[in-house]
Amino acid sequence: MTSTGDSAAGRDQAADAHPPSSLRQLLAASVGNAAEWYDWYAYSFLAVYFADRVFPKGTDNSLVPLLSTFAVFAVGFFMRPIGGLLMGAVADRRGRRAALTATILLMGGGSLLVALTPTYASAGILAPIVLVVARLVQGLSVGGEFAASTTFLVESAGPGRRGLFSSFQYVSTTVGQLIASGVSALLAHQLTEDAMSDWGWRVPFLLGAVISLVGFWIRRGAHETRSAERLAADTRPGLFEALRRHPRESLLIAGITTGATIAYYTWTTYLPTYAIVNAGLDKGDALMAGTISLAFFALLQPLGGLLSDRIGRKPLLITFAFGFAVLAVPLLHLVSDSLWSLLLVQCAGMVLLTGYTSIAAAVNAEVFPARVRAAGIGFPYSLTVALFGGTAPYVGTWFKQAGHADWFPWYVALLCLVSLCVYVTLPETAHKPLDR
């Protein structure tokens, strides 16, 4: 009878003889991740078009439908911790690839449901209920996606390349967001305002369902990571093992993420709406500025990853957090009704933001041991994103409604200051071996 140790050794020898292609591993993670985030972000870009179709207007306030739509955006985020925990556990127990294929199917199904959401005029209260269910499914998917793809990417990296591989987490995220923004901007410029509100907003979500199927097919052909193959021979971890045995590391993930998530969702997702609501910028111009700045952002990510492999993670993290703590307020005050002002502010913020996004996967993966890495990252990361990232559009719009629009930039700066304090105390992990 062959022992478990002999089987594991055989797998290791086979993997050494036929190592998976780095390009293929990157493609499997990146294409699927782009499809996931395309579906997720299309909602934010198109909210201004379908808000008053799904939610009834308040008698005295035209911002009520938009507030309701962003509240549902936030509700989707609060499913992310559950997705991070459940799909992270799947990744730790069944393998990273199994979790990645499950998450992309969930996202495609949620996108299709958004596309088929009826209007309030035709279905009454059923319309917002369908939208909420769709966002809950997508939130479950996205929470699991980050946990699984983070571990998959970093564990697939060769020596001295974890930062570079890590950067593709946000390269693919940004590509998905860029496609969502580009499709939305194209439709906004080609269709009339009425056509966009009537049916045009549904087209990107239908496209997202198709893209998810393509991503699923590509991920099916990916190779499992060596770490996951070794773990398959061990006793499988319990659902809450990471939280129970590694409470300090869980809190560390939350501290690392707090400022980064508010800055990220403000600059990459909410800023076009912020410019529309607070500065009166044309909707089409806002989407166009967002699309151009996202392309610039995607190009920066590998440069940040490579730099971190040379000089370490801490210098980039500290530069990001200090920059936003000092500059978030003046940058957001520069937003006007000009496309160029929004583009300048977005690009400036994205240079700073790269200090975190390009290495987020590596920084998080280097905190936990391989046995509980996916679930250990997934739950605290997704919970923090839900609390501070998912609520960013709602908080910003609420400040505007309350007559305190100037408070939102200070809110962003304060949370970045909190993360700065965490970054200063972090140990440098760039040149240490990854626990496998």
**Residue type for position 395:** V
Measured distance CA(68)–CA(87) in Å, rounded: 28
The beta strand positions in 170-270, using DSSP E, are none
Query: The CATH number of the domain where 121 resides is what?
Result: 1.20.1250.20
Q: Please provide the DSSP assignment of 215-235 as one string.
A: HHHHHHTPPPPHHHHHHTTSP
136, two tokens: 């809950």
Residue 230 in contact with residue 8, Cβ under 8 Å? yes
AA letter at 155: E
Side-chain-facing half-sphere of 349: CA atoms under 13 Å: 35
Of 101, 83, 156, 140, residue with least CA distance to 362: 156
For residue 414, is it within any domain?
Answer: yes
The boundaries of the domain holding residue 170 are 22-225+270-425
How many folded domains does the chain comprise? 1
Look at residue 238 and give its three-state secondary structure: coil
C-alpha–C-alpha distance, residues 225 and 154, integer Å: 9
Evaluate whether residue 189 is within a structural domain: yes
CA distances from 430 to 154, 171, 228, 367, 427 (A): 12, 20, 21, 11, 9
pTM: 0.79
For the record, the structure tokens of 14 come out as: 């086979």
**Assigned domain for 5 exists:** no
For residue 188, tell me if it sits in a domain.
yes
In a domain, 237, yes or no: no
- With residues binned 3-state (H G I as helix, E B as strand, rest as coil), the percentages for the chain, rounded to 5, are 80, 0, 20
Does residue 16 belong to any structural domain of this protein?
no
User: By C-alpha distance, which of 142, 373, 367, 161 is closest to 261?
Assistant: 142
Please report whether residue 242 resides in a domain: no
Write the burial class of residue 340 (CB in 10 Å: 0-12 exposed, 13-18 middle, 19+ buried): exposed
Instruction: Name the one residue in this structure whose structure tokens are 């379908």.
Output: 50
Residue the block writes with tokens 């500059």: 327
Q: For each of the chain's 436 residues, which pLDDT tens digit applies?
A: 444 444 444 444 444 444 456 777 788 788 878 887 887 778 877 877 887 788 776 545 555 566 676 677 667 777 888 888 888 888 888 888 888 888 989 988 999 999 998 988 888 888 888 888 888 888 888 888 888 888 888 888 877 889 999 999 999 988 988 888 788 888 888 888 888 888 998 999 999 999 888 888 888 777 777 666 666 556 667 777 877 888 888 999 999 999 999 999 888 878 887 888 778 888 778 878 888 888 999 999 999 999 999 999 999 999 999 999 999 989 988 888 888 999 999 999 999 999 999 999 999 988 888 788 888 888 899 889 888 887 777 788 788 778 877 888 899 999 999 999 999 999 998 888 776 6
